[in-house]
Structure 1
Amino acid sequence: MARSAQLAVLVALLVATAPAVSAVTCGQVVSMLSPCLNYAMGRSPTTTPACCAGVRGLNNAARTTADRQTTCNCLKQQTSGMGGLKPNIVAGIPSKCGVSVPYAISPSTDCSKVH
């Protein structure tokens, strides 16, 4: 086997066996969704274009299981620790922005089961 082919096989094995590491951080989640705060607190009647751009950007960034679990855990942490948020409004933000999220945004969501 040629050296370049051996290297390619080695890289493929390392990638396949490496533990999942999230590329999305909680700081990024908070930053991307901060334009949604007024709506999430019931202070604004509609989502803003900036809010929906953040939701779409976050959904596009969270493509792996690890990214989605990090995002889910961050959302749970932020929504439970921040007073004034309306859970029913928060849960509906993705659909208001035309984005499909593969889990319910809820304090009861088990983020370890998000894939």
Structure 2
Amino acid sequence: MPRLLACITFFVLIFGSAVTGESNNCSKGANYFFPCINYVGGFSPKPAKDCCSGLEELNKMTKEKEGPENICQCIEDMAYVTNVPFIASRVQSLPEDCHIHLSFPISISMNCSR
């Protein structure tokens, strides 16, 4: 049931972005981070391969103008919309668990305006 709810809210997030004219970067960012929800929400013991490859894509997006801020805001919005409480230690360990060095900070207390 939590997975179904997460899927539904994910599509609402994506559709809502398109309707409000929000940048397509958030749609892409949400799509890349979505496979990580089961791990950071505590539903799976390790991140899925799609999660790790999505983090690599998010890393590439940070090179775009205002990329890190957009990605941060996207992840924050996804956490709010999916209503899945992210486990702080899992969010913090994502880069290590995926064997990736992120060029942007990731935590449950991110400040997207920095």
Q: Which TM-score applies when normalising by structure 1?
A: 0.65
Where 1:106 maps in the other structure, the secondary structure is coil
Q: CA RMSD in A?
A: 2.2
Where 2:66 maps in the other structure, the secondary structure is helix
* Contiguous gaps of at least 5 residues in structure 2: 1-22
Q: 1:107 to 1:48 in 2, by over 3 A?
A: closer
Shift of the alpha carbon at 1:24? Answer: 6.1
Greater alpha carbon shift after TM alignment, 39-48 vs 93-102: 93-102
Q: Which residue of 2 aligns with 1:73?
A: 73
Q: Is residue 95–residue 101 contact of structure 2 (8 Å, CA) maintained in 1?
A: yes
Q: Is residue 94–residue 100 contact of structure 1 (8 Å, CA) maintained in 2?
A: yes
Identity in percent = 25
Structure 1 segment 81-100 matched on structure 2, within 5 A:
81=81, 82-100=83-101
Distance 1:110 1:65 in 2: 18
Q: Is residue 79–residue 85 contact of structure 1 (8 Å, CA) maintained in 2?
A: yes
Where 2:113 maps in the other structure, the secondary structure is helix
Structure whose CA Rg is larger? 1
Q: Which residue of 2 aligns with 1:111?
A: 112
